[in-house]
Structure 1
Amino acid sequence: MDHPGKDSARHDSQDRLVVELHHLGFQPLARVGGKALNLGKIAAAGLPVPAGFCLTTSAYRSAVPAEVGVLAARLESLDPGDAEHLSRLALEARDLVNAAPMPPEVDAAVRTAYAAMGTAGREQGKGGGPAVAVRSSATAEDLPFASFAGQQDTFVDVTGADGVLDAVRRCWASLWSDRAVVYRAANGISQREVSLAVVVQDFVEAAAAGVLFTANPVTGTRGETVIDAHRGAGQDVVSGAVNPDHFQIHTASGRLVAGTHHDGIQHDGGAHRPVLDAQQLRELISLGTAAQRLLGAPQDVEWVIDRSGTVWLTQSRPVTTLYPLPVPLPVPLQAGSPAAGFMPGSEDYAETPAGEETRVYLCGSLLQGLTRPITPMGLTALNLMRGDQGPWRQYATPGLRLYVDLTPAFHSKRGRQTLLKAIPLADGRSAALLPALMEDPRFTVRKERHAGNRNQQPKGQRKRSARGVRNFATTAMMLPAMVRAVVRPEAELRRAHAYGKRLQAGVASNAAAATSEQRLEYVEGAMHGTVEELIGATLPAPAAGYLLLAAARRLLRGIVEPRELEAVLRGLPHNVTTEMDLELWRLAASLGRHPDSRAAFLGKSPEDLARDYSAGTLPAPAQNAIRGFLGKYGHRAVGEIDLGMPRWSDHPDHVLGMIANYLRVEDPEQAPDRQFARAAEQAEAAMRRMVGKARAKGRLRSRLVGFCLHRTRQLAGLRELPKFNIVVILGEMHRQLAEVGKDLAGTQRIAAPEDVFFLTFDELRVGLRGADLSGIVGSRRRQYDLELRRRHIPRLLLSDGTDVEAALAPTAEPPSEGVLTGTPASAGTATGRVRVILDPVGAHLEPGEILVAPSTDPGWTPLFLTAGALVMEMGGVISHGAVVAREYGIPAVVGVPDATTRLHTGAAVTVDGAAGTISLSEKLDVLQPSRGEDPGTWGR
């Protein structure tokens, strides 16, 4: 056995195979595995853990034949989705482990350690020794980012040394179970580096057992303890074989929030006798809280109560599914000032400090059509743009995503009114949660104190007043430009485009930095003053357009339905994103007339095409056309508000894949330019119809309606221009930082040039002075990769970790059978086959297919041109995807819960953009699945 202190090294060399349980907390993870390490820590702290020992990973490595390593390398080379090959190789590995002889030294070490358990007064089992539990403890298990719950095997009530050794071998083999291999592949964990230790503990015969979560695993609330309990063995609760008693308890007060069989912690005298009494619940809560504090994160604890009523903890692992807590970031001193020391993101999974006000955060990333995390450098750039006013003034970045603090608005009557009007336009699902959240007593309206003397006002109120004055001044400055846009729209259009040209010329001329230090200085100052300037130059025209649309809506009240006005926004001119998409279509059409180019695009993958383009070996017409397109739009990207995302000029495979998609359009009526022209014709017809209806109320009203709608179509399309110009700057910042990355990679301060986007400006300066930054980058990349795999992102998040949508889900109406509902975003109906796309890069969409996506930004819009309809999990009527869908004249439904999992590629559906529904269609039953794919099933 190992012992702590000065003799531990000697004991380790003599008896490296076995470690006593209460000494495991001093061992490295690679030696004892995650489960044993956590058990050792809580045992050493005095928490009740059944006694025993751990057979270390050294025993596993000595027993497993070398051929398993070869199979592990082959497993690592497979695609994580290739379940058939993964399972076959996993079976070969298990067979090798089961057939290998047990090394004599391992056999002797287990027998000796087990015999010692038998001499400690334990009850003897039928096999001639104490009954024990034999538990797997993998090195890739119970980790902060991957729990591996149930992936390796546990065996209970094992007796006799032979029985223990057999259980040990079966634990080793379970490291190569299908489920464990697939889990590692899905989580990006090396198959070659994983190893397994085995914990052998006294077996506790359970009177009751179950699981305890120190944070609510469904809602994410850190202040709640959730306990499932059942009489008898805990495996029944873990496996779901029984319907346990369920307790959802406010941790600090012990108040029961919800429970299957209880109105309160005390038994209410009904027919059901609860498994746990009040004292046992309090003891379990106390033990769970102690484990959480000791291990530094919310815990998933398995527990047993023996026949005498003693509580034992048999396992404690991190709750890995919780969304990180939002931590407010400090506001910069002034807009554009460097954010010294700014640390993007939050890895804090612990409980919110007691006594702090609960705050409400809205996910701004989702409102921007961005479901993926933002790189640390991308968050740093957003912080530079934030300034000390505006909607981003107070925000947090949990999970490397942007969350805006709405708490001040919740406490204000006027703020609530603004939220109830604005949020439904941006995201219907978030808006549906607001009324219930506003009833929460934590977010009641507060009376504002008014003082006659400004100097007597509270400091925070004076700041809000000052911001209000600045906001009013900004609005006042925009008014002349808005009036000019209404009176002389063509001149305002020319002025906005001229500013864009000056901006691009200025970016090119100011980017002539020679050294990495100069490049870094340029990048930090690039946004200073520019955002306000470009907004002032380009926002008044579209703002005037949408104000005139609102005026037309008022003039047409009682004459037409409000949703009829959406038709006016179809086929809008002067939209830079629409123009880009149509230019790409025209490029594809021209290449389609060139046989060599057409053959290349239809015969190669986007990745191969990108390699040919970089090498200059595409057919000459294609090479030249793409170079011209990227020269104009190469600064754009998927997720382009993230400075760290590669630009199309760096990785053109997305653009090349879109060209290949366009070349598959054979029906002239499905050609994107024809569809866009048809949408514009429909808009003009709708305008004439509404003007005609208004004439019944008077000639003057009819003329005013016509003027407002005509100006709307002239000006509203410019709404994309401010963001387009910002992305121009971000594109140049990205290019300059990439050069800094090459410098640092060349001197081995970072491993690869793109690592620069996982650092902050201050860290880059340190690196340029010679510091090694690879450790920081590695930690940030692990967090980023973890967040890339996260599928569910809370729309509304409280500072105690509560996912508001999940918390309110039990009160929501159940989904209709065979019908999904969301927010109507673009009228019209379309029937077609579903194509679920999670990432547009390299995506393939057949003409007329129904595009189903989590959310979209401008990088997705080339797909819209051939889509039959759009369905999104996120968004509202003014979200980017909804607006562009209306402009292209395709039906769209947004804010559809779990659309990407409840709809499956190949399923035939009908999308009704006016009703906001997606329903199974019988019209396509006679058709074959798209491009050889199996039809999807509904609601699997």
Structure 2
Amino acid sequence: MTTTTSVVLDLSDLSGARLADVGGKAANLGDLLAAGFRVPDGFCVTTAAYRSATAGRLPALHPADGGADGGPVRPAALRAAVLAAPMPRAVADAVRDAYARLGSDVPVAVRSSATAEDLPGASFAGQQDTYLNVVGADQVLDAVHRCWASLWTDRAVAYRATQGIDGDLALAVVVQRMVDARAAGVLFTADPITGRRRQAVVDAAPGLGEAVVSGTVDPDHVVVDTATGRIRQRSTGGAGPFCLSDDQVRELAALGDRVERAFGAPQDIEWAFDHSNTLWLTQSRPITTLFPVPVRARPVDPDGLRAYFCVSLAQGLHRPITPLGIATVRVIGSGFLAVAGYPPARITDGPAGFAVAAERIFVDATPAVRSRVGRAIAPRMLAVMEARSAVVFGQLFDDPRFAVLPGSGRVGVRTVAHVLAGTRAPLVAARALIRPAAAHRSVQASLARIQAQPLADSGASVAERVDAVVELLHRSVPLAPRLLPAAAAGFATLGLVWRLLRGQVTAGELETVLRGLPHNVTTEMDLELWDLAVRLRADGAVAELLATADPAALAARYRAGALPPVLQQGMAAFLRRWGQRAVAEIDLGMPRWRDDPAHLFGVLAGYLRLDPAAATPEQRFTAGAREAEAMVRTLVDRARRRGRIRGAVVSFGLRRTRELAGLREMPKFLMITAIARARAELGRIGVELAAAGRLEDPDDVFFLDFDELRRASTAPDLPALVAQRRARYERELTRRHVPRVVLSDGTEPEAVATPSVRPEPGTLIGSPASAGTVTGIARVITDPVGARLEPGEILVAPSTDPGWTPLFLTAGGLVMEMGGSNSHGAVVAREYGIPAVVGVSGATEQITSGMQVSVDGAAGVVRWATR
């Protein structure tokens, strides 16, 4: 009865190794029994039974495959086909025999167990059917049949579609003895709302737990600290006294702790106390909605609470990062430490506080939070870079668990001094203020050094070539931070003007000074792409080609050299200067535009949809520059009324702001240039490893780290490792929520904070980023590659980096969940005079494409009509 072809197996014979035979729910129950937990006995009707009953009877294995008439197969047709299939005699006999062994007319629960169910990436909770208090063999067989059909309910098909799960699915069915429950319900071993681990959340009700799971009753709700047994919160469901005693709550928490340890992850558990107050475990599945706790490069005291800040999100990157991209940022982090005088022992290890969760990059911010100097500096930096994060850090400052450490002031001052000395910040800033032209020459010299940095000869070993790439990245790092003081000097002089004209100038007037800034590589890139679109518009055939052809097909023709000359040559010229850029460009694993220019062809097509009579982005940029120069003259005149010296200082400050602030984007551009060179070399290594049979595909190289690549010529099982990481990366691409800050106990501070201001319905509040008001149709875009933004639409995005900014030229306004007044999106929006609000929490969830929204970029408010 335990062969792989059996149609019925005892629950005690099951384990995770038999997932394909018994589905996720049954496999989990088998593992629970094997671990010694009290689980009602029963059996599993395996997927072999489902396959034998439905063989040759389904119109298609998946609705997308199409029916006999070529149209899509509806889930209802598939359900009907399963229900119409007769129960095979062998299956029916095996189920009757197994049910008889449970006893005579025993009430049982009949539960679906799909092969893609109760897995770490997708729980499928409630997607297939369950039948309770089923009595008699005939009724059990009928319930099994209906469970099979529930694989094709509309909700289950839709859930699988959103999870990207398709293919040859099958369903097993669990039949378990019913618990005569006095009270039952659900236990989460981590708080599903706040994310806090080791905090059990119990929902309970008298009788069967199904009422709690289905939401048909208002349950008692209890929150208990797992480690101490302390009950932190309790509320009654309104059906009389609590159905559980304090001791039973603690017993549940202890059970949950044991189950979590057995499975190695927080669990969503269904349980029941029978009338003798014996606790039974009826189901356990992973909690798939929790954001994982970041894992540091070097472990620290597990009992000390840590605060982790999402660096990749702050850089405008919402999507996951490839393993080689993460390894690259580790090397870059080591380079910054070396500049500051704190080099790590191994370059590829990265900073000690470097951490990873959900394929995103975090940094342990605890030292800054617990330092007087850190508390002084971090909020001010975040206020202009990522405003919402500054608010979250402010909440941590009020948490006694993050109290300032004694002596932290001296340590912080010493650290800042090291950084200033390593970057030569005071000297660089002073030189830039005295001679801005020298700062611009330094930028070009740094770029030339990165481009000239040698790599290993093609005849070198893979390990030697990988070492040369690491050296390229590490040597390039010092060049970037040493340019930051020049841009910072430009913004510092703007702050000086604000102080000198206190009471005589508004924030909006100073923002006008930043319009149309010269020396900004991102806006130069966007305007050069616009200029190419202008030239292409003059060629009717090419304009028609861009408007009608698929961007991916155009990219393939470009690589083959088969586009019309004006388009082929124009794109080649653009890519020679800007081909190292990309969407999500800090990830070395992402294709550069010179690798795949499909996104650019789509953007060009969008530019050509603009009304030729409307003001062009170039005209808006030029007009912005004129407005800025006019505002400079106005503010200087105001200052002169209070004295010639004050007027001279304001004039000097504003001129330096115009000459230097545009360099803000250059340090990152230098690093992206180095990353692009590194990617090209590693891509060549990938081709060679694939040709040698070490990798299945050249791009698999981006799913290894540098140490693994050094050993790639001899390391076993690389394809298996790559497959595992690709699968994890693909799952992470579907993640919608990424926290700005997460604590080491899993808590997301934003989730537990009480908003200081509750906006009215139909209103979201963020940070002002670019003045002006606009009303238009919203377009929610989470990935710009292939996205279509119509002229004048309001771009609503989770975050942006320079790879997004070509879309800004057609946008009527910008709403962004991340960012501050000096983030990439805000800077570019101001350049083009696009009203923008950033740091708008929940924007991509509450706003949907097609809504008409109003954006007030000066007030930081987004509104839409509500019914």
**Contact 1:635–1:649 (Cα < 8 Å) also in 2:** yes
**Contact 1:76–1:190 (Cα < 8 Å) also in 2:** no
**SS class of match (2:699):** helix
In structure 2, which of residues 821, 829, 850 is the aligned counterpart of residue 885 of structure 1? 829
Cα offset, 1:76, TM superposition: 6.0
1:359 and 1:26 mapped to 2: Cα distance?
34
1:85 and 1:797 mapped to 2: Cα distance?
47
Cα offset, 1:751, TM superposition: 1.8
Structure 2 vs 1, CA of residues 868 and 482 (structure 1 numbering), >3 Å: closer, same or farther?
A: same
Structure 2 vs 1, CA of residues 422 and 261 (structure 1 numbering), >3 Å: closer, same or farther?
A: farther
Structure 2 vs 1, CA of residues 481 and 436 (structure 1 numbering), >3 Å: closer, same or farther?
A: closer
Structure-1 residue corresponding to 2:345: none
2:740 matches 1:795: yes
2:788 and 2:332 mapped to 1: Cα distance?
35
**Contact 1:33–1:197 (Cα < 8 Å) also in 2:** yes
Cα offset, 1:449, TM superposition: 8.2
Cα offset, 1:484, TM superposition: 2.7
**SS class of match (2:711):** helix
Amino acid at match of 1:185: A
**Contact 2:370–2:408 (Cα < 8 Å) also in 1:** no
1:468 and 1:831 mapped to 2: Cα distance?
45
Structure 2 vs 1, CA of residues 449 and 669 (structure 1 numbering), >3 Å: closer, same or farther?
A: closer
In structure 2, which of residues 228, 240, 244 is the aligned counterpart of residue 253 of structure 1? 228
Cα offset, 1:26, TM superposition: 7.2
2:362 matches 1:400: no
Amino acid at match of 2:243: V
Structure-2 residue corresponding to 1:176: 152
Cα offset, 1:24, TM superposition: 1.9
Q: How does 1:877-916 map to 2 (within 5 A)?
A: 877-916=821-860
In structure 2, which of residues 815, 820, 823 is the aligned counterpart of residue 871 of structure 1? 815
In structure 2, which of residues 426, 444, 465 is the aligned counterpart of residue 519 of structure 1? 465
Structure-1 residue corresponding to 2:310: 363
**SS class of match (1:142):** coil
Structure-2 residue corresponding to 1:96: 81
Cα offset, 1:148, TM superposition: 0.6
**Contact 1:596–1:619 (Cα < 8 Å) also in 2:** no
**Contact 2:473–2:678 (Cα < 8 Å) also in 1:** no
1:797 and 1:874 mapped to 2: Cα distance?
16
Structure-2 residue corresponding to 1:106: 91
2:375 and 2:413 mapped to 1: Cα distance?
18
Structure-2 residue corresponding to 1:835: 779
Q: How does 1:36-75 map to 2 (within 5 A)?
A: 36-68=26-58, 71-72=60-61, 75=64
Q: How does 1:196-215 map to 2 (within 5 A)?
A: 196-215=171-190
Cα offset, 1:144, TM superposition: 0.9
Structure-1 residue corresponding to 2:347: none
Give CA-to-partner distance per residue, 1:854-879, whole Å, 9 cap, x none.
10000001111121111001111121
**Contact 1:16–1:56 (Cα < 8 Å) also in 2:** yes
Structure-1 residue corresponding to 2:450: 503
2:273 matches 1:305: yes
Structure-2 residue corresponding to 1:771: 716
Structure-2 residue corresponding to 1:295: 263
**SS class of match (1:33):** helix
Give CA-to-partner distance per residue, 1:658-691, whole Å, 9 cap, x none.
1111111114443110111111122122222222
1:878 and 1:272 mapped to 2: Cα distance?
55
Structure-2 residue corresponding to 1:928: none
Amino acid at match of 2:565: A
Structure 2 vs 1, CA of residues 851 and 294 (structure 1 numbering), >3 Å: closer, same or farther?
A: same
2:219 and 2:71 mapped to 1: Cα distance?
38
When structure 1 is superposed on structure 2, of 36-45 and 630-639 the one drifting more is: 36-45
Q: Give the TM-score, by structure 2 length.
A: 0.94
Amino acid at match of 1:24: L
Structure 2 vs 1, CA of residues 823 and 468 (structure 1 numbering), >3 Å: closer, same or farther?
A: closer
In structure 1, which of residues 354, 363, 373 is the aligned counterpart of residue 320 of structure 2? 373
Structure 2 vs 1, CA of residues 490 and 77 (structure 1 numbering), >3 Å: closer, same or farther?
A: farther
2:680 matches 1:721: no
1:54 and 1:528 mapped to 2: Cα distance?
57
2:14 matches 1:24: yes
2:16 and 2:324 mapped to 1: Cα distance?
37
2:581 matches 1:636: yes
Cα offset, 1:468, TM superposition: 4.7
Cα offset, 1:465, TM superposition: 7.7
**Contact 1:76–1:191 (Cα < 8 Å) also in 2:** no
**Contact 1:597–1:618 (Cα < 8 Å) also in 2:** no
2:682 matches 1:707: no
2:665 and 2:303 mapped to 1: Cα distance?
40
1:647 and 1:426 mapped to 2: Cα distance?
25
Q: Give the TM-score, by structure 1 length.
A: 0.87
1:354 and 1:116 mapped to 2: Cα distance?
52
Give CA-to-partner distance per residue, 1:325-348, whole Å, 9 cap, x none.
1121149xxxxxxxxxxxxxxxxx
Cα offset, 1:423, TM superposition: 2.1
1:49 and 1:772 mapped to 2: Cα distance?
38
**Contact 2:373–2:408 (Cα < 8 Å) also in 1:** no
Structure-1 residue corresponding to 2:127: 151
2:408 and 2:830 mapped to 1: Cα distance?
45
**Contact 1:516–1:743 (Cα < 8 Å) also in 2:** no
In structure 2, which of residues 141, 158, 178 is the aligned counterpart of residue 165 of structure 1? 141
2:715 and 2:262 mapped to 1: Cα distance?
37
1:539 and 1:131 mapped to 2: Cα distance?
72
Cα offset, 1:770, TM superposition: 5.9
Give CA-to-partner distance per residue, 1:468-508, whole Å, 9 cap, x none.
55324225x3433333322222343234224323432x04x
**SS class of match (1:402):** strand
Structure-1 residue corresponding to 2:195: 220
**Contact 1:855–1:873 (Cα < 8 Å) also in 2:** yes
1:736 and 1:624 mapped to 2: Cα distance?
25
**SS class of match (2:855):** strand
Structure 2 vs 1, CA of residues 437 and 484 (structure 1 numbering), >3 Å: closer, same or farther?
A: closer
Give CA-to-partner distance per residue, 1:256-303, whole Å, 9 cap, x none.
2333349xxxxxxx9951121112111111111111111221110011
Structure-2 residue corresponding to 1:337: none
**Contact 1:50–1:313 (Cα < 8 Å) also in 2:** yes
Cα offset, 1:305, TM superposition: 2.2
**Contact 1:369–1:857 (Cα < 8 Å) also in 2:** yes
Structure-1 residue corresponding to 2:495: 550
Cα offset, 1:639, TM superposition: 0.7
Cα offset, 1:182, TM superposition: 2.2
**Contact 1:71–1:89 (Cα < 8 Å) also in 2:** no
Structure-1 residue corresponding to 2:678: 733
Amino acid at match of 2:385: A
Amino acid at match of 2:544: A
Structure 2 vs 1, CA of residues 448 and 104 (structure 1 numbering), >3 Å: closer, same or farther?
A: same
2:773 and 2:244 mapped to 1: Cα distance?
55
Give CA-to-partner distance per residue, 1:38-70, whole Å, 9 cap, x none.
1122223332211111111121121112243x6
1:572 and 1:101 mapped to 2: Cα distance?
74
**Contact 1:33–1:140 (Cα < 8 Å) also in 2:** yes
Q: How does 1:220-619 map to 2 (within 5 A)?
A: 220-261=195-236, 272-330=240-298, 356-387=303-334, 388=337, 394-448=353-407, 467-475=415-423, 477-504=424-451, 506-507=452-453, 510=455, 513-515=458-460, 517=462, 518-536=464-482, 538-619=483-564
Task: Provide structure 1 residue ranges, at least 5 long, that are not aligned to the other structure.
Answer: 3-11, 79-83, 120-128, 263-269, 332-352, 451-460, 922-937
Task: Provide structure 2 residue ranges, at least 5 long, that are not aligned to the other structure.
Answer: 343-350
Structure-2 residue corresponding to 1:345: none
Amino acid at match of 1:655: L
Structure 2 vs 1, CA of residues 138 and 468 (structure 1 numbering), >3 Å: closer, same or farther?
A: same
**Contact 2:515–2:832 (Cα < 8 Å) also in 1:** yes
Structure 2 vs 1, CA of residues 448 and 488 (structure 1 numbering), >3 Å: closer, same or farther?
A: closer
Cα offset, 1:542, TM superposition: 1.5
Percent identity, aligned pairs only?
A: 50
**SS class of match (1:529):** helix
**SS class of match (2:61):** helix
